Amino acid sequence: MKNQIEKIKNTAQKEILATKTLKDIENLRIKYLGKKGELTAILKQIGKFSDNEKPIIGQLVNEVRDFINYSIEAGIKEIKDSILEQKLNKEKIDVTLPGIYRSIGHKHPLNIVLDDVKEIFIGMGFDIVEGPEIENDYYNFEALNMPKYHPARDTQDTFYISENILLRTQTSCVQIRTMEKTQPPIRMISPGRVYRSDTIDATHSPLFNQIEGLVVDNGVTFSDLKGTLETFIQALYGLDSVVRFRPHHFPYTEPSAEVDVQCFGCHGKGCRLCKNEGWIEILGCGMVHPTVLKNCGIDSEIYSGFAFGVGLERIAMRRYNIDDMRLFYENDVRFLNQF
């Protein structure tokens, strides 16, 4: 029996030393020390021995059990250390190697121009005001002197959500909300996205950006409007910018005008971008209609004002000599990297 126990000890030692994985070493633990293991089988036979032999055999079995346990724990530690060393060798980093360049994002060209526009108007004492893109029919049309069935509504091709809820077609509704809450003097611009069911081409899109402006105070005249817009355009494009005002009609302003800048593609000769007109319309403007002031609770006998709406995409096109506004929305990195 002693020889058999010694043989188990020596065999277990050799197998443990040859083991390479944690799973295999666990199988050896079960093989020798489990409920049906070889040492456990010997202990079950101990009752067959004499009283003098029992303590000797029991002591020898316990010594071999402790030896195998120690050998297994040492084997587990050695395997784990080996796995860790392999992992560290595989994951080691040479800190002396040069870094990998990661390109960093930057502002979209529309945001660049918008920030410049804001800075120009803030410099002239204007506030920046924002409003909801999902708007009530009253603020988008009725308060702007366009009641139900007014023909001017048809020119805007509105996206209606319900009979009285729509996607705003202009940010003029922010001006109405501001005049309802604030008494003159008022000097503000309201930039934001607007929506119209429009055909997509080089200068039109169903989603675009507007910057509406409003000034209301004592003694405001059309000359103030003209001077403000000329100052703005020259600050944005340069002192040599060629600008023209054309008479127009808007329900919410009287008198009204449209403002054009000379086409940067053909310099007034006529091309695809300007539809052979030589000019590109960038905004509409006019003196605030007395009815609009009255709808907002402002006395038109005391106060007057002017308003304007600038197309952000069109002024960005003019500034960067871009001939197709669709480029702003196609997310072509080759285009965006130029800015």
What are the pLDDT tens digits along the chain (339 aa)? 777 777 777 887 888 888 888 888 888 778 777 777 777 777 777 767 677 777 777 777 778 778 888 888 888 888 888 888 888 888 877 788 888 888 888 899 999 999 999 999 999 999 999 999 999 999 999 999 988 887 777 766 889 999 889 999 999 999 999 999 999 999 999 999 999 888 888 778 889 999 999 999 999 999 999 999 999 988 988 887 788 999 999 999 999 999 988 876 777 788 877 778 888 888 899 999 999 999 999 999 999 999 999 989 988 888 888 888 899 999 898 998 888
Distance CA 336, CA 339 (A): 6
Residue with tokens 């001077």: 227
Closest by alpha carbon to 107, among 316, 264, 323?
316
Q: What is the pTM of this model?
A: 0.66
Distance CA 308, CA 257 (A): 9
Distance CA 46, CA 284 (A): 107
For residues 260 and 237, is the Cβ–Cβ distance under 8 A?
Answer: no
User: What is residue 336's three-state secondary structure?
Assistant: helix
Distance CA 160, CA 198 (A): 14
149 exposed, middle or buried (CB, 10 Å; 0-12, 13-18, 19+)? exposed
CB-based contacts of 94: which residues, under 8 Å, 6+ apart? none
Query: What pLDDT sits at residue 300?
Result: 93
Distance CA 256, CA 248 (A): 5
Kind plus residue range of the DSSP H or E element containing 68: helix 53-91
Residue 89, CA distances (Å) to 82, 85, 94, 97, 326 in order: 11, 6, 11, 16, 52
Tokens matching residue 21: 């994985």
Query: What pLDDT sits at residue 304?
Result: 95
CA triplet 203, 204, 207: central angle to 5 degrees?
Answer: 130
Query: What pLDDT sits at residue 324?
Result: 87
Distance CA 39, CA 27 (A): 15
Tell how strand 207-217 and strand 243-250 pair up: unpaired
Beta bridge mates, 204? 201
Query: What pLDDT sits at residue 144?
Result: 92
Residue type, 93: I
Rg (CA), the chain: 42
